[in-house]
Chains A and B, each alone.
Chain A
Amino acid sequence: MRKPALVVLVVDDEVQIRRFLRAGFELQDFAVQEAATGAEGIRAATLKPIDLVIVDLELPDMDGAEIVERLRAWSKVPIIVLSVRASEEEKVRLLELGADDYVVKPFGMAELLARARAALRRQVPGQQGDPIVRAGPLTIDLATRTVSLDGRPVGLSPKEYRLLQVLAQHAGNVVTHVHLLREVWGRAHSDDAHYLRIFVRKLRQKIEKDPTQPRILTTELGVGYRLSVDIG
């Protein structure tokens, strides 16, 4: 018995982009809904249950921030933003407003699917949630607060664990610098990016095989960090 297909709402004014997204998602057994404008997208999201929203940053009738804000006003549906290069501040703003992740145009379908799956994973499965997060050789048990690498326990300081925990709660998706600083050090330190760099470095030394070429705790330049779950 197959479970019912997950519904993806694609909000983009470019018909060609919608076409390939439809093809790409349908090949992966998603059902696709299309909307050409922000207003149409919001209407579609209210009419039918939607599992995932893909929204273009530049829509003719409203900007990406507005649509993310309006969706977040009543829905926890995962949102992935299609962005362009050289707009890191805009990406951070959208993530802060509640978008789950972004991909930069031009992008490949594999990249978008990975982001989409990660965002869906947080929402869908057995609502009690799976306390175990796996990222390649790394296992994080959020229930027992234990971390192990290739089965061997890893000793982390409380702050290091907290950092890893926040990333694990968004496993596979980007978490902004500001968000991490706020969650780990508190609101007063949300500008102290230097702390974060130092702790990420310490954490990488404990969980990465080669800390200078991290595969688990990866960097999104100018935006934040990501706990990469689909490591080949």
Chain B
Amino acid sequence: MLDLARLKWDGAHVAPIAVSLLIVAAVTALLFVAGPLLDLDHAAFGYLIPVLIAATRWGVTPAIISGLAGLAASAFFFYPPIYDIRVTNPAHIADLILFVVVAVVTGQLANSVREHVNAARQREEEMQALYFFSRRLAVASSPADIHAAIQDHVSAITGCRVALFAAGAGHSPPETSPQWPHMPKPIQRAIVDILDGTSNGHEAPLFDRKTGASWLIRTLSQRNAPVGIKAIELGRVSRQSIDAIRRRVDTALAEATATLERIDVAHALGEARVRSEAETLREALIGSVSHELRTPLASILGSTSVLSQAPGVAQDARLASLVEVIRDETERLSNDIQNLLDASRISSAGVHAHLAWTEPPDIVNAALARLHRRLEAHRIEPLLAGDLPLVRVDAVLIEQALSQIIDNAAKYSPPGSTIIIAARAVDATVEIAVSDEGPGLIGDEATRLFERFYRGPRHQAAVKGSGLGLWIARAFIVASGGQLEAASKGAGEGTTVTVRLPAPSADASENGDA
């Protein structure tokens, strides 16, 4: 149909019309010269040539203008009265009407062919661009690659400028974005809102009043979290073309999102593999250290225990004390290695507590039995209430923790001093407090005591240690659902380390009737 509303008089349309009119003029000249020679009766049909050319090359408007010009030229130059726009002969009028009909029909046909060809060409270009985009996405190995690909692709298919803003921690606000120094304020605000999470994005294009340009803002998300924002400056365009652009941009972003997720999964898998390899290595190392170091130590300790019983050694006090030195030092070494292994186990695998009902005194007694020799120089005073509730803990871990604490008390307090180990029930817990008569705690020592590798600066030279013991103790106690704290009245006033263990009331507690 003839759609006069689509006639536009801007530069892009004037040239084809001018050319069409030139062709009409040329045809007129040709017919004017050749007409008398050939004795043409239906000169109007010569004007089908410009109509067809205009319809196939430039579309409907130039074709209509060519047709009208041809009609006018025929009437003026070739149909009597000559040099008069009027046509009087009915046969000639029929001729011209026929011309108009043929011109309109062929013009329409030619125009639709042209449109089909154009659409096919555009589709091919789009396919080409999409294919190129897909290939870039396929080889992308990082989000940065994907963002660059989107940027290029979207600007290629829209012919517009595209800016990307990375979302997430450490994003840069648009005004400082080097990509786009002159972004209008409302657009910047919209992007900041999305980055801050106060807005979910804008489905409709934004219109900037000042510049008259439309903007599309699209969020690129990954697992429902925005990873980037695309701002596309569309310029002054019609609503229809904005919709078309928006559809194409959204298709591209959907594809990019899928790729982002694929990369993320691949990345996570890769990381998991590296982590598990590191884990395996560490496990292997721990395993071999534990075997390679503990086995010889077990041999040494076992051998000294045999030696100390051997008649020749047992009867000679000097030899016996030498064997004792070997035994004590080896035991210390063995403990240090055990601490390293425990520490490494805690940080690599975490602690898995096997909770079971336990008599609190059993834990204290086991710790005292383990430390028996190391506590020989101190007076140990256990003050255990007789009716303590059972605690529900990993008894083995708690005993190791308590041993560390008691051993620490002995290490840092003078020989001959007293270490009190008091246990009492407080609410739904059992408190075991280890108090020594040592140098006490000053400053932030009470809190820093349980840090890994922390050693009080006052004692570093005087007392051997790795700074691991209390850190391990804390990890073991926490794993059982317990708490640990240290307190001191000050320098020289001794230290009390308190362990709190959960003692939930058990329904079964009095059911075991005899």
On A, residues with C-beta under 8 Å from B are 14, 16-17, 19-21, 23-24, 27, 58, 84-86, 88-89, 105-110, 157-160, 185, 192-201, 211-214, 218-219, 221-222
Inter-chain contacts of A21 with B (CB < 8 A): 302
Say which residue of A158, A199, A213 sits within 8 Å of B365 (CB atoms).
Answer: A213
Q: What is the bound-complex CA distance between A27 and B310, given in angstroms?
A: 7
Inter-chain contacts of B334 with A (CB < 8 A): 106
Residues B302 and A107 in contact, CB atoms below 8 Å apart: yes
B338 within 8 A of A: yes
Residues B306 and A219 in contact, CB atoms below 8 Å apart: no
Inter-chain contacts of B356 with A (CB < 8 A): 193, 222
CB distance from A95 to the nearest CB of B (A): 15
B291: nearest residue on chain A (CB-CB)?
A58
Q: What is the bound-complex CA distance between A23 and B361, given in angstroms?
A: 37
Inter-chain contacts of A221 with B (CB < 8 A): 358, 362-363, 366, 395-396, 399
CB distance from A102 to the nearest CB of B (A): 14
Residues B395 and A17 in contact, CB atoms below 8 Å apart: no
B357 within 8 A of A: yes
On B, residues with C-beta under 8 Å from A are 290-291, 294-299, 301-303, 305-306, 309-310, 330-331, 334, 338, 354, 356-359, 361-363, 365-366, 382, 384-386, 390, 394-396, 399, 506, 508-512, 514
Nearest 3 CB-CB pairs, A to B?
A: A157-B514, A195-B512, A108-B305
CB distance from B403 to the nearest CB of A (A): 11
Residues B309 and A212 in contact, CB atoms below 8 Å apart: no
Q: What is the bound-complex CA distance between A47 and B332, given in angstroms?
A: 42
CB distance from B465 to the nearest CB of A (A): 20
Q: What is the bound-complex CA distance between A88 and B395, given in angstroms?
A: 10
User: Please, could you name 23 A-B residue pairs with CB atoms under 8 Å apart, sorted by A?
Assistant: A17-B295, A17-B299, A20-B303, A20-B306, A21-B302, A23-B303, A24-B302, A27-B309, A86-B396, A88-B396, A105-B294, A105-B295, A107-B302, A159-B514, A194-B357, A195-B512, A197-B358, A212-B361, A213-B361, A214-B361, A219-B359, A219-B362, A221-B395
Say which residue of A85, A110, A185 sits within 8 Å of B338 (CB atoms).
Answer: A85
Residues B306 and A106 in contact, CB atoms below 8 Å apart: no
Residues B302 and A197 in contact, CB atoms below 8 Å apart: no
Residues A17 and B298 in contact, CB atoms below 8 Å apart: yes
Inter-chain contacts of B365 with A (CB < 8 A): 212-214, 218-219
- Given the known interface contacts A27-B309, A192-B508, A197-B358, the answer about A20 and B514 at a Cβ–Cβ threshold of 8 Å is no
Residues A109 and B509 in contact, CB atoms below 8 Å apart: no
Residues B359 and A20 in contact, CB atoms below 8 Å apart: no
B356: nearest residue on chain A (CB-CB)?
A193
Residues A16 and B359 in contact, CB atoms below 8 Å apart: no
Residues A109 and B302 in contact, CB atoms below 8 Å apart: yes
Residues A24 and B306 in contact, CB atoms below 8 Å apart: yes
Q: What is the bound-complex CA distance between A21 and B396, given in angstroms?
A: 27
B383: nearest residue on chain A (CB-CB)?
A212
Q: What is the bound-complex CA distance between A37 and B402, given in angstroms?
A: 37
Q: What is the bound-complex CA distance between A212 and B381, given in angstroms?
A: 12
Inter-chain contacts of A84 with B (CB < 8 A): 290, 294
CB distance from B385 to the nearest CB of A (A): 8
- Given the known interface contacts A17-B295, A211-B386, A221-B358, the answer about A106 and B512 at a Cβ–Cβ threshold of 8 Å is no
Say which residue of A14, A195, A201, A222 sits within 8 Å of B299 (CB atoms).
Answer: A14
Residues B305 and A212 in contact, CB atoms below 8 Å apart: no
Residues A23 and B301 in contact, CB atoms below 8 Å apart: no
Q: What is the bound-complex CA distance between A194 and B310, given in angstroms?
A: 45
Residues B306 and A109 in contact, CB atoms below 8 Å apart: yes
Interface of A is mostly: helix
Q: What is the bound-complex CA distance between A213 and B303, given in angstroms?
A: 31
Inter-chain contacts of B394 with A (CB < 8 A): 222
Residues A222 and B354 in contact, CB atoms below 8 Å apart: yes
Inter-chain contacts of A24 with B (CB < 8 A): 302, 305-306, 309
Inter-chain contacts of B510 with A (CB < 8 A): 198
Say which residue of A106, A198, A214 sits within 8 Å of B302 (CB atoms).
Answer: A106
Residues B295 and A14 in contact, CB atoms below 8 Å apart: yes
Q: What is the bound-complex CA distance between A20 and B326, given in angstroms?
A: 15
Q: What is the bound-complex CA distance between A125 and B499, given in angstroms?
A: 47
A218: nearest residue on chain B (CB-CB)?
B365
Inter-chain contacts of A218 with B (CB < 8 A): 365
Residues B306 and A23 in contact, CB atoms below 8 Å apart: yes
Inter-chain contacts of B390 with A (CB < 8 A): 194, 197-198
Inter-chain contacts of A213 with B (CB < 8 A): 361, 365, 382, 384
Residues B299 and A194 in contact, CB atoms below 8 Å apart: no
A15: nearest residue on chain B (CB-CB)?
B299
Inter-chain contacts of B290 with A (CB < 8 A): 84
Known: A86-B396, A109-B305, A211-B361. 17 other contacts (CB 8 A): A14-B295, A20-B299, A20-B302, A20-B305, A23-B303, A105-B298, A106-B334, A108-B301, A109-B306, A192-B512, A193-B357, A198-B509, A213-B382, A219-B359, A219-B365, A221-B358, A222-B396
Inter-chain contacts of A185 with B (CB < 8 A): 512
A222: nearest residue on chain B (CB-CB)?
B396
Inter-chain contacts of B382 with A (CB < 8 A): 212-213
Residues A16 and B299 in contact, CB atoms below 8 Å apart: yes
Inter-chain contacts of B331 with A (CB < 8 A): 106
Say which residue of A20, A194, A214 sits within 8 Å of B506 (CB atoms).
Answer: A194
Say which residue of B301, B309, B362, B509 sits within 8 Å of A107 (CB atoms).
Answer: B301
Interface centre among A106, A193, A194, A197 (most CB of B within 10 A): A106
Q: What is the bound-complex CA distance between A201 and B362, given in angstroms?
A: 11
Inter-chain contacts of A88 with B (CB < 8 A): 354, 396
Q: What is the bound-complex CA distance between A198 and B514, given in angstroms?
A: 11
Inter-chain contacts of B357 with A (CB < 8 A): 193-194, 197
Residues A197 and B305 in contact, CB atoms below 8 Å apart: no
Q: What is the bound-complex CA distance between A214 and B362, given in angstroms?
A: 9
CB distance from B192 to the nearest CB of A (A): 55
Say which residue of A106, A107, A159, A197 sits within 8 Å of B359 (CB atoms).
Answer: A197
B510: nearest residue on chain A (CB-CB)?
A198
Q: What is the bound-complex CA distance between A219 and B370, given in angstroms?
A: 13
Q: What is the bound-complex CA distance between A27 and B312, given in angstroms?
A: 12
Inter-chain contacts of B294 with A (CB < 8 A): 84, 105-106
Residues B512 and A222 in contact, CB atoms below 8 Å apart: no
Q: What is the bound-complex CA distance between A89 and B395, given in angstroms?
A: 13
Residues B396 and A199 in contact, CB atoms below 8 Å apart: no
Q: What is the bound-complex CA distance between A214 and B294, given in angstroms?
A: 31
Inter-chain contacts of A199 with B (CB < 8 A): 512, 514
Interface centre among A110, A157, A219 (most CB of B within 10 A): A219
Inter-chain contacts of B291 with A (CB < 8 A): 58
Q: What is the bound-complex CA distance between A105 and B299, given in angstroms?
A: 9
CB distance from B121 to the nearest CB of A (A): 75
Inter-chain contacts of A58 with B (CB < 8 A): 291
Q: What is the bound-complex CA distance between A86 and B353, given in angstroms?
A: 11
CB distance from B247 to the nearest CB of A (A): 63
